[in-house]
Amino acid sequence: MNKAMDSKTLEHHLMTDPDPRNPDVVDVAKSDETCAAVLRDSQAFEAQLMDALKIPSRAGLAQDIMAKQQETSRRPELPWMLATAAAVTLTIGVVATQFLPDSNAHHHADSDVWVHLAQHWEHDGAQVLNASQATQSQTADVEQLLIGLGVEADPDLLAQVSLGKICPTPEGDGAHLVLNSDDGPITLIIMPKTQTLSAPSAKIMSDGQEAWLVALEHGSMAVIADPDRNAFEIARQLRQQVSVDGTLAL
């Protein structure tokens, strides 16, 4: 970084390293008012996300989340087959073949991944959804964020992203994206280094949102949407638009 960096480069840097105390960031913000505005916007966004940490969790919240996970794990895994006539044409065998995990990736038990996703969603799922209504990430910035993680997304998917940020995963960094759709926002969490053993699987999150965990050829991803949105069919379609570079995921 240097004082000659433009506001777009600074914006991308702050998406991956939002520390406002970085001397280079401070210098650039002092030298250019546009960069200063970018820094202020970044600080406001991060403050909004951190507000979730200031909300005291009620007693027994963790136990309730685990209880919900145990209850939903006993429901049929493919309710989407009843949703549309088109979905009925997909056989269970074909779907199972599509979601076979990569035998060379870092495997994690689905239960561990679900615990992480529940905690992550409780921390900033709603905050990021709310922020996406007021903040618009630039498509080029989102693309660069994904490239840095070894993730490639189709242009049609990138065009739908209203907000993108780095997020933690069970193994390394991942991407937390909010997609616009005619029926409301869809959250996509891409975990490049986290390969699951038995995906696809579904859970209901603490706020009632439906989440589907699906395996990619390398890594995995979770798709979270309102329970009436047929989230599995959304996940199946999005899976065709996302790929992870296995050499970077290792």
Does the pLDDT value for residue 204 go beyond 50? Answer: yes
Q: What is the mean pLDDT of the chain?
A: 75
Nearby residues of 224 by Cβ (< 8 Å), 6 or more positions away: 121, 125, 186, 187, 188, 189, 205, 209, 210, 211, 212, 231
Q: Where are the domains of the chain?
A: 7-54, 65-249
Does the pLDDT value for residue 222 go beyond 70? Answer: yes
Query: Residues of the chain with pLDDT > 70: what percent?
Result: 68
CA 235-120-242 angle, to 5 degrees, is 30
Provide the token pair at 136: 């618009």
Element (H, E) at 60: none
Query: Residues of the chain with pLDDT > 90: what percent?
Result: 28
- The DSSP bridge pattern shows strands 195-196 and 107-108 to be parallel
SS3 235: helix
Confidence of residue 107 (pLDDT cuts 50, 70, 90): low
Q: Which residue has the higher pLDDT, 18 or 56?
A: 18
220, 191 in Cβ contact below 8 A?
yes
Amino acid at 190: I
